[in-house]
C-alpha cells in the first residue's frame, strides 16, 4: 500500500527544501509529518510514541540549523523517524526495520544526516561534544553541534559524565532535553523529581518568560546586558526553586522549560540560541505519542505497538485456536515471583526495562523487593552486588546487548568477589528488527571467560524455570541465564521446579555417526531437523548441553568417543562462544573428530526477523540439516 505524504511534506527531500518554506508554513509541515508517521507505522510497524513526541523539535532543528554541516546527534534513536523522513528517506520509510530496508535507528552509513550511530542510550552528549571539540580544533567556528536526549536517557551515568566534561569547555554545544517523563516505561529517580519541580513551578515559569524576553533582546543592549541578565536569571532560579540549578551548576547555560510542541516558539528560541556561545541546554516539555490520543494516554503500550488500525486504535493480534507458548520474558516474570514467595532473600533488579523483561509482574506483587534503577546498567550490576553482600539473591535482568555496558562491574564487583548475582540476559541472540545495536551476540563469549561465572541457556520454558531455581541454591555463585526474544515451545509451561546439576547437559536422542550439540532455545531447530532426517533413515545424536561453562565433560567424553563428526549450534558469536568451548575441550583431551560450528560469523548483521537472520548466519533448520547431510556424505535435498 502506497502512503502519500501531505502537500508540503511531499516537496521536502532534504532539510534545504524545508528551509525554503516560510516560518508560517511550519505548523502544516509538522501536522503532515506527524500524520505520515502514523500512517506508515500503523501499516508497517515500528517504534511509535517517541517520534510523535518530537515532531516539532525535529522540524525546528532542521529549519534553524544548517544540517548536515551543523551536527545533529540523536540519543537512542527511537525518536528519529521524523528526522529520517525529512532527510531523504521519506519514500523508503515503509521499509524501516524490515530485512534489507532502512534501519530503525540513525546509522552513519545510511545518511550523511545521521552523524552518529545509536541504539543504546545516553551517548549523544559525549558524541556531540567530541564533534564540537574537533570542530574547534579545525577552526570551524561557525559549526553548531546539537544533542537531542530524553529525560530517560539523561538518567544514564554517561550523560552526566559528558555534561561534567562539556561544562569545563567553551565548546559550541546545544543539548536539547526532550522531557516527557518517559523512556519506555515511566522514568524513576531523583532527576525525574528535579525536572518535575522545574516544570511545575508556576512562579518560576512566569518569571522565566520575562527573563527570556530580556535574553531574546540582548543584541539591543550589548554584551554587558547579557552578563547581567544571566546573573539575574540564575539568582531567580535558585531562590524560587529553593535549590541551585543542576545544569548551571555544571556550567551550562540553561533555557526553559518551554513547550516542545509550539513550533513557532521553538524556532524563535533556537534562532536566539545560535548566537549564544558555549555549552547550553534547552529544556523542552513534550508528550510522548503526541497527536494520537491512545498513545498519549498509554505511553508504554504505544512505544512499539506493532500493526494497528489508525482510526479505531485496535492493535492487531494474531488469534490462535490452540494455547500458545508464552514469551520467555513472561516465564521469567512469573517464575521470579513464584521463587520469591518461597525464598525471602530473592530480589529483582532491572535498568529501565520492567515491562520489556516482565519484572513489572514482581514490581506489582512485591514492590519492596523489585527495583527499576533507571537507564544505568553499571549501577544495576553493582547495586545487585551490594544486595548480595547482605545475603540477598538478586536477579539482575538486563538485555544481553545492554549487559555489555555493565561488563566491568560484572568482572570486578560480582565475579572477583564470587557474589551470588543471577544475570538473566533477555534478548540473547538475534534481537530481530532492532538490528545490530540490539543483537545479543557476544554474551556467551564475554561471560564464559570470567572466573566463577556459570553460563547457561534453557532450551525451553521448563529449563528456564529450573535454571532460575538452581541459581538460588547455596553455593551457586555468579550465574548467567540467557534466553531469546519471543516465544518458547511449551504451552503448558508451569512445571514443578527442579534443581539441575550445574554443568550437566541432557541427551535428547542418541544417534549414529554425527552428533548435534546445541546451546539454548536454538536446540528446538535440531529437534525438528532430527525428525525430518529420520524419514530418510538418518539418525544424528542430539545433545542439549545447557551449560557453556562449566561444560559437561562426562557427556563430551561420551560424544567424542562415539561420534567422528560433531556439529555445534548457538545463537551467538562463533569467536569465543559455545562451539569454541567444545573445540577447546576436544583439543585438551586429545580427540580428533571433525567439528563444524554453526553460529554468528565475525561480521555485523543488520536487522530483520529472527528466522531471516538465522538463515543469513547459516544456522536455520535447513542449514543444520544440510550440514548433517554434507558431513555424512548424503545428498542434500533440493
Q: List, in sequence order, the alpha helices (H) in 217-303.
A: 223-241, 246-249, 263-273, 293-297
Q: With beta carbons less than 8 A apart as the criterion, state whether 452 and 477 touch.
A: yes
Q: Which residues contact 14 (CB under 8 A, 6 or more apart)?
A: 86, 87, 88
Summary mean pLDDT of the chain: 90
Instruction: Report pLDDT for 314.
Output: 85
Q: Coil, strand, or helix at residue 138?
A: coil
pLDDT top residue among 34 and 188: 34
Determine the distance from the C-alpha atom of residue 423 to the mean position of all C-alpha atoms in its chain, rounded to a whole number: 17
Q: With beta carbons less than 8 A apart as the criterion, state whether 496 and 338 touch.
A: no
Instruction: Report pLDDT for 236.
Output: 47
pLDDT at 567 over 70: yes
Instruction: Report pLDDT for 221.
Output: 47
pLDDT top residue among 206 and 390: 390
**196-204 long-range contacts, CB within 8 A, separation 24+:** 197/241, 197/243, 198/241, 198/257, 198/283, 199/257, 199/283, 199/285, 201/240, 201/241, 203/240, 204/236, 204/237, 204/240, 204/241
- Residue keyed to cell 525471602: 344
Instruction: Report pLDDT for 204.
Output: 46
Residue 73 sits at the vertex; the CA angle it makes with 70 and 75, to the nearest 5 degrees, is 165
**Sign, CA torsion 315/318/322/325:** negative
Q: With beta carbons less than 8 A apart as the criterion, state whether 547 and 502 touch.
A: yes
Instruction: Report pLDDT for 585.
Output: 98
Instruction: Report pLDDT for 577.
Output: 98
**Sign, CA torsion 519/525/531/532:** negative
Q: What are phi and psi of 206, to 5 degrees?
A: -65, -50
Positions marked active-site = 288, 377, 405
Instruction: Report pLDDT for 318.
Output: 81
Quick: pLDDT tens for 486-499.
999 999 999 999 99
Q: How confident is the model at residue 192 (pLDDT cuts 50, 70, 90)?
A: low
Q: Which residues contact 272 (CB under 8 A, 6 or more apart)?
A: 215, 216
Tell me the CA distances in angstroms from 397 to 47, 141, 150, 319, 484, one per residue in order.
Answer: 22, 45, 23, 30, 13
Mean pLDDT, range 534-540, rounded to an integer: 95
pTM of the shown model: 0.87
Mean pLDDT, range 157-185, rounded to an integer: 87
Q: How confident is the model at residue 239 (pLDDT cuts 50, 70, 90)?
A: very low
Mean pLDDT, range 250-266, rounded to an integer: 90
| Count of positions (residues) in the chain | 638
What's the number of CA atoms in the CB half-sphere (13 Å) around residue 221? 12
Q: How confident is the model at residue 137 (pLDDT cuts 50, 70, 90)?
A: very high
**Among the listed residues 543, 400, 523, the one whose alpha carbon sits nearest the alpha carbon of residue 459:** 523
Determine the distance from the C-alpha atom of residue 26 to the mean position of all C-alpha atoms in its chain, rounded to a whole number: 32
pLDDT at 171 over 80: yes
Ranking 6-10, 43-47, 614-618, 625-629 by mean pLDDT, the lowest is 43-47
Distance (Å, rounded) from C-alpha 337 to C-alpha 328? 15
pLDDT at 228 over 80: no
Q: How confident is the model at residue 317 (pLDDT cuts 50, 70, 90)?
A: confident
Mean pLDDT, range 365-385, rounded to an integer: 95
Q: How confident is the model at residue 244 (pLDDT cuts 50, 70, 90)?
A: low
Mean pLDDT, range 116-128, rounded to an integer: 92
Q: How confident is the model at residue 51 (pLDDT cuts 50, 70, 90)?
A: confident
Amino acid at each position: 500500500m502506497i502512503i502519500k505524504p501531505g502537500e508540503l511534506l511531499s516537496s521536502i527531500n532534504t532539510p534545504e527544501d524545508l528551509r525554503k518554506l516560510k516560518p508560517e508554513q511550519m505548523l502544516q509541515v509538522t501536522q503532515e509529518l506527524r500524520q505520515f508517521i502514523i500512517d506508515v507505522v500503523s501499516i508497517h510497524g515500528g517504534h511509535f510514541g517517541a517520534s510523535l513526541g518530537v515532531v516539532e523539535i525535529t522540524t525546528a532543528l532542521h529549519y534553524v540549523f544548517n544540517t548536515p554541516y551543523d551536527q545533529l546527534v540523536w540519543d537512542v534513536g527511537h525518536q528519529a523517524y521524523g528526522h529520517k523522513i525529512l532527510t531523504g528517506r521519506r519514500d523508503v520509510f515503509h521499509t524501516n526495520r524490515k530485512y534489507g530496508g532502512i534501519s530503525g535507528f540513525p546509522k552513519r552509513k545510511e545518511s550523511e544526516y545521521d552523524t552518529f550511530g545509536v541504539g543504546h542510550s545516553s551517548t549523544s552528549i559525549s558524541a556531540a561534544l567530541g564533534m564540537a571539540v574537533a570542530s574547534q580544533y579545525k577552526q570551524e567556528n561557525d559549526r553548531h553541534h546539537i544533542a537531542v536526549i530524553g529525560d530517560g536517557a539523561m538518567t544514564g551515568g554517561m550523560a552526566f559524565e559528558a555534561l561534567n566534561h562539556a561544562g569545563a569547555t567553551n565548546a559550541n554545544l546545544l543539548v536539547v532535553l526532550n522531557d516527557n517523563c518517559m523512556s519506555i516505561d515511566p522514568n524513576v529517580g531523583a532527576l525525574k523529581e528535579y525536572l518535575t519541580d522545574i516544570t511545575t513551578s508556576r512562579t518560576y515559569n512566569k518569571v522565566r518568560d520575562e527573563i527570556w524576553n530580556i535574553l531574546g533582546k540582548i543584541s539591543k543592549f550589548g554584551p554587558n546586558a547579557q552578563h547581567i541578565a544571566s546573573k539575574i536569571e540564575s539568582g531567580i532560579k535558585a531562590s524560587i526553586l529553593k535549590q541551585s540549578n543542576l545544569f548551571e551548576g555544571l556550567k551550562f547555560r540553561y533555557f526553559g522549560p518551554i513547550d516542545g510542541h509550539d513550533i513557532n516558539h521553538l524556532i524563535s528560541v533556537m534562532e536566539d540560541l545560535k548566537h549564544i556561545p558555549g555549552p547550553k541546554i534547552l529544556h523542552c516539555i513534550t508528550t510522548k505519542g503526541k497527536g494520537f490520543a491512545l498513545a498519549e494516554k498509554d505511553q508504554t503500550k504505544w512505544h512499539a505497538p506493532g500493526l494497528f488500525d489508525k482510526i479505531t486504535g485496535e492493535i492487531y493480534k494474531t488469534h490462535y485456536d490452540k494455547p500458545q507458548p508464552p514469551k520467555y520474558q513472561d516465564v521469567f516474570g512469573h517464575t521470579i515471583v513464584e521463587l520469591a514467595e518461597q525464598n525471602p532473600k530473592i530480589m529483582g533488579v532491572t535498568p529501565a526495562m520492567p515491562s520489556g523483561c516482565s519484572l513489572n509482574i514482581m514490581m506489582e506483587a512485591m514492590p519492596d523487593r523489585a527495583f527499576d534503577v533507571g537507564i544505568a546498567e553499571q549501577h544495576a550490576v553493582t547495586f545487585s552486588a551490594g544486595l548480595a553482600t547482605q545475603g540477598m539473591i538478586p536477579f539482575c535482568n538486563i538485555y544481553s546487548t545492554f549487559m555489555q555496558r555493565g561488563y566491568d562491574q560484572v568482572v570486578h564487583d560480582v565475579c572477583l568477589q564470587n557474589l551470588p548475582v543471577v544475570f538473566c540476559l533477555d534478548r540473547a541472540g538475534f534481537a530481530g528488527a532492532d538490528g545490530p545495536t540490539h543483537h545479543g551476540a557476544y554474551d556467551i563469549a564475554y561471560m564464559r571467560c570470567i572466573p566463577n561465572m556459570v553460563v547457561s541457556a534453557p532450551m525451553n520454558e521448563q529449563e528456564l524455570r529450573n535454571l532460575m531455581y538452581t541459581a538460588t541454591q547455596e553455593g551457586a555463585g555468579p550465574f548467567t541465564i540467557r534466553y531469546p526474544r519471543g516465544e518458547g515451545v511449551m504451552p503448558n509451561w508451569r512445571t514443578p521446579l527442579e534443581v539441575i546439576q550445574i554443568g550437566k547437559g541432557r541427551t535428547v536422542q542418541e544417534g549414529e555417526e554425527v552428533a548435534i550439540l546445541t546451546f539454548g532455545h536454538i536446540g528446538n531447530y535440531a529437534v525438528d531437523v532430527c525428525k525430518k532426517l529420520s524419514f530418510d533413515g538418518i539418525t544424528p545424536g542430539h545433545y542439549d548441553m545447557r551449560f557453556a561453562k562449566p561444560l559437561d565433560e562426562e557427556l563430551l567424553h561420551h560424544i567424542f568417543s562415539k561420534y567422528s563428526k560433531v556439529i555445534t549450534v548457538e545463537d551467538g558469536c562463533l569467536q569465543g562462544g559455545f562451539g569454541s568451548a567444545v573445540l577447546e575441550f576436544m583439543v585438551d583431551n586429545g580427540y580428533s573428530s571433525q567439528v563444524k560450528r554453526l553460529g554468528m560469523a565475525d561480521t555485523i548483521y543488520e536487522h530483520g526477523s529472527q528466522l531471516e537472520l538465522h538463515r543469513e548466519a547459516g544456522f536455520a533448520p535447513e542449514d543444520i540439516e544440510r550440514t548433517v547431510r554434507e558431513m555424512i556424505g548424503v545428498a542434500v535435498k533440493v
